[in-house]
Structure 1
Amino acid sequence: MSLTDPAILGVLSVVLLLTLVGLGVRIFVAAALVGFAGLAAMRGFGTAMALAGLTPYAKTATYEFSVLPMYLLLGFLAFYAGMTRQVFEAARIWVGQLRGGLALATVVATAGFSAVSGASTATSAVFTRIALPEMIRAGYAVSISAGVVAAGGTLASLIPPSGILVIYGIIAETSIGKLLLAGFIPGALSALVYVATIAVLFRLKPELGPVGQSYTLRRKLAATRNLAGIALVIAIVLGGLYSGWLTPTETGAAGAFVMLVFCVFKTGFRLANLRDALIETAQVSAMIFAIIWAVLIYVRFLGFTGLPGDIAEWVLGLDANRYVILIGILLVYVVLGMFMDAIGMLLLTLPFVLPTIDGLGFNEIWFGIILVKMAEICLITPPIGLNVFVVHGVRPDIPVNTIFRGAFPFFIADVVTVILLILIPDIVLWLPNQMSG
């Protein structure tokens, strides 16, 4: 075998790509360079130029992929409308009187805000400013306070509108609408498992935090009324997807419009806030699509090498139960998640993994939810743990090790959730199977 053999070129490209990423080269630069070089080596410089120019556009210049900037805009408008503080205040008033109530309120609030924001890191950053000071001021242990904020932010990865689910749908070429619906029940389950984890922790260790103030039913109902905007957007997104009346992009556009209306009537909202929301949406969208375009160039090169099919054929030839192989794949993601961010990890591995998943007979939507849940786990595990570093970035006075220690119980909770999703696939598939159209 020579270096010009397609399979050898494929293997060398993987080694080179991982090396570049390990050296700190941005993923979109590394993937585009390696993909282009591989195409040039196999098909010539002119063909490589043509494919590198046409492939990203041909794959992503479609109406359904405009859902991503729509959902991002929805989340930024919700932030500037002050929805984050409103949802936390409502949750605090309802459950703050329980032991660990502020931690419970943080989980409930991050789950609620996740329904209008598809970005995990943004959710953690926002609640580090809002919920973390409240917990520390009330006498909660710093570790659990920081850990629950870092972990709560991960819920935005599953609960629609989820940006990372949209990205998975683009690469896997599967229904984005069904993917988004499929994430709702697992996302709610994750939040419930977090709530149970907090309840057990504070029962076993009451010194983690005191019982909070209780409120009258009238005060609770008054706080709930402030959530009308989020409730309406959730109804539009889930109702539109479930009924089939709206496409994913239309649900995002309708949700963003409703949130804009709430912003207009929000005291203190300025035109500058709208400008900032639009600019941030454009910046994040450009960043994500740059990664997608670069990886698509690399994926096109891999298609010529035949390496993904060779790997799938080798894995399928193993004398092992398909669930054993699945667990092996998920463990690989745990390791990769220690060194790579979630989006890059998914985009670079899916070309190899999806043919294997198809060959094993697993549903791609179900696997997508499992995979995104694994990405959530990586957000709170060392050494990268992006959400942990987001919390530390906002509160540099709290050591990273302290935040990781506080997030560890939620890592265990996530493992339990993944096991449930594997054992009971209908948790994922029931809702999208009811989807109209």
Structure 2
Amino acid sequence: MTPLEAGLTGIGALFALMILRTPVAFAMLLVGYFGLWILEGTRAAGAVMLTESYSTVSNYNLIVVPMFILLGNIASVAGFSRALYDAAFAWVGRFKGGLASSSVLGCAVFSAVSGSSVATAVTIGKVALPEMKRLGYGDALSTGAIAAGGTLGFLIPPSTGFVLYAILTEESIGRLFMAGILPGLLLMGLFMGTIWLIATLNPKAGPRGEPVSAGEKFRLLGRAGPLMGIIAVSIGGIYAGVFTPVEASAIGAGLVLLLAIAMRAIDWTGFKSAVLETLKTSAMLYMIVIGANVLNPFLAVTHIPETLGNAMVGLGLGPYGTLVMIIAAYVVLGMFLDGLSMLVVTIPIVFPVIQELGFDPIWFGVVAVIVIEMGMITPPVGLNVFVVKGVAQDVPMTTVFKGVLPFLFAMILALLLIIIFPQIATLIPDSMFG
């Protein structure tokens, strides 16, 4: 068996294992280890397994993952997410589809705490969906807005998607975090515009909320202020160059814990629950990185990335034609794989092609994350759709998928704008890091 044949067999085995519901981390470990065993021998395979496992768990930059996850979990347990949602509703709830728009706004702000799409959709969904049902919102709009808004957790920093992309490509986590700010705000604005358009065309789908006095608006904003201040300190500290992303994550987690204790918003049971949930999620992410780092040497030995890159360039489609082909492949894969799985499996293969074509790797990180976000609300997998369905159990799955369709078009528009105007993604990191 030639290395190329072994590589193609390995990729086929990888997808077969994932179809059989093998966790993606272990699927990559198995394929990477046994592939190297066949091609390089037992000793080489064992050496890669040991060294990559150790280098991953001792990687200082990866500390950002458990710290920001802990920050989000403590904020959720302490009920700070409710304060964020109430403040958002007070300010935008009076507009057409205002309650759905405030849900998207709440998702955007909570994304800057949790860094997780699923956590954002679950947390805001539990608060917002009962309120929208009470006020007579259409099931499609309400569930679609939460499912789409939750995807912002994969784009707005601190994004676990950007952390994994940085580890896999050896790019700067700080630059990627900063690159996600303007695209995240753009996507949030397009989501809110989509809601306004739906509510304008069908007022019954998103009726206006009750007006809120100016005093009440500022009171609710004040309740959400401490958590928003922590977000400003941690993310703003990275922008100002005061903190590294790792330092910012630890400071943010420490501040939110102190805030929860000071406000008596968390007890020992809640704290223990937040820590255990953080450990579970972090262990899963660390295992995914270990699996990817064992799989990558196997792919390198088989020359799959190099062969694929040469084949794509040989088609003569040009840089943007090749980019469209890569994006189309991502869209198809997004129908069957969850976001993190798709990221760690594909980036080692397509990243050398992106470099060969001369695209900015930071910009492509934003493009890849947005396409992966689309997969989170695309049938038949659509992880965020299943998450929202779990919260709104009385809403049919077909209704939820119907509800996310307009938001998919908004994401396509955002993607096109970022491709046409790459400065949307590169302006902030370039101004910070030169």
Give the structure-1-normalised TM-score: 0.97
Equivalent residue number for residue 142 of structure 2:
145
Equivalent residue number for residue 120 of structure 1:
117
CA distance in 1, matches of 2:266, 2:55: 39
Give the deviation of 1:436 after TM superposition. 4.8
Give the deviation of 1:91 after TM superposition. 1.0
The 5-angstrom pairing of residues 361-380 of structure 1 reads 361-380=358-377
Three-state SS of the structure 2 residue aligned to 1:7 is helix
Aligned length: 434
Contact kept? 1:123, 1:156, Cα under 8 Å:
yes
Equivalent residue number for residue 278 of structure 1:
275
Q: Which moved more, 1:126-135 or 1:261-270?
A: 261-270
- The letter of the residue matching 1:75 is G
Q: Which of 303, 314, 317 in structure 2 is aligned with 1:317?
A: 314
Give the deviation of 1:163 after TM superposition. 1.1
CA distance in 2, matches of 1:282, 1:24: 22
Equivalent residue number for residue 384 of structure 2:
387
Three-state SS of the structure 2 residue aligned to 1:116 is helix
CA distance in 2, matches of 1:289, 1:246: 23
Give the deviation of 1:59 after TM superposition. 4.7
Contact kept? 1:242, 1:434, Cα under 8 Å:
no
Equivalent residue number for residue 154 of structure 1:
151
Q: Deviations over 1:146-187 (max 9, x none)?
A: 111111111111111111111111101100000011101100
CA distance in 1, matches of 2:288, 2:251: 27
Q: Which aligned segments of 4 or more residues in structure 1 are displaced greater than 3 angstroms?
A: none
CA distance in 1, matches of 2:8, 2:57: 27
Three-state SS of the structure 2 residue aligned to 1:398 is coil
Contact kept? 1:161, 1:237, Cα under 8 Å:
no
Equivalent residue number for residue 293 of structure 1:
290
Q: Which moved more, 1:146-155 or 1:264-273?
A: 264-273
Contact kept? 2:199, 2:207, Cα under 8 Å:
no
Q: Deviations over 1:267-307 (max 9, x none)?
A: 34201111111111111000111111012111111111121
Q: Which moved more, 1:354-363 or 1:30-39?
A: 30-39
Pairwise CA RMSD: 1.2
Label 1:200 to 1:303 Cα distance change in 2 as closer, same or farther (>3 A). same
Equivalent residue number for residue 410 of structure 1:
407
- The letter of the residue matching 1:146 is T
Equivalent residue number for residue 74 of structure 2:
77
Three-state SS of the structure 1 residue aligned to 2:200 is helix
Q: Which of 197, 200, 212 in structure 1 is aligned with 2:209?
A: 212
The answer to whether residue 38 in structure 2 is matched with residue 41 in structure 1 is: yes
Q: Deviations over 1:122-160 (max 9, x none)?
A: 111112210011001101111111111111111111111
Equivalent residue number for residue 334 of structure 2:
337
- The letter of the residue matching 2:48 is L
Three-state SS of the structure 2 residue aligned to 1:139 is coil
Contact kept? 2:136, 2:207, Cα under 8 Å:
yes
Q: Deviations over 1:72-105 (max 9, x none)?
A: 1111111122111101101111111112110111
Equivalent residue number for residue 301 of structure 2:
304
Three-state SS of the structure 2 residue aligned to 1:50 is helix
Give the deviation of 1:242 after TM superposition. 1.3
The answer to whether residue 23 in structure 2 is matched with residue 26 in structure 1 is: yes
The 5-angstrom pairing of residues 180-259 of structure 1 reads 180-259=177-256
Contact kept? 1:106, 1:149, Cα under 8 Å:
yes
CA distance in 2, matches of 1:292, 1:214: 48
Give the deviation of 1:62 after TM superposition. 2.1
Equivalent residue number for residue 357 of structure 1:
354
Structure 2, unmatched stretches of 5+, are none
CA distance in 2, matches of 1:144, 1:154: 16
Give the deviation of 1:23 after TM superposition. 2.0
Equivalent residue number for residue 50 of structure 1:
47
Give the deviation of 1:113 after TM superposition. 1.0
Give the deviation of 1:232 after TM superposition. 1.5
Give the deviation of 1:57 after TM superposition. 2.1
- The letter of the residue matching 2:201 is L
CA distance in 1, matches of 2:57, 2:299: 18
Structure 1, unmatched stretches of 5+, are none
Q: Which of 7, 11, 25 in structure 1 is aligned with 2:8?
A: 11
The 5-angstrom pairing of residues 97-108 of structure 1 reads 97-108=94-105
Give the structure-2-normalised TM-score: 0.98
CA distance in 2, matches of 1:57, 1:246: 26
- The letter of the residue matching 1:349 is T
The 5-angstrom pairing of residues 53-72 of structure 1 reads 53-59=50-56, 61-72=58-69
CA distance in 2, matches of 1:302, 1:244: 37
CA distance in 1, matches of 2:46, 2:381: 35
Q: Deviations over 1:203-230 (max 9, x none)?
A: 1111213221101111111111112222
Three-state SS of the structure 2 residue aligned to 1:434 is helix
Contact kept? 2:116, 2:153, Cα under 8 Å:
yes
CA distance in 2, matches of 1:264, 1:412: 43
* Percent of matched pairs sharing the same residue: 39
Contact kept? 1:28, 1:291, Cα under 8 Å:
yes
Q: Deviations over 1:224-264 (max 9, x none)?
A: 11122222122222222112221101000011111011100
Three-state SS of the structure 2 residue aligned to 1:339 is coil
CA distance in 2, matches of 1:76, 1:288: 16
Q: Deviations over 1:38-61 (max 9, x none)?
A: 111111112211211112322552
Three-state SS of the structure 2 residue aligned to 1:246 is coil
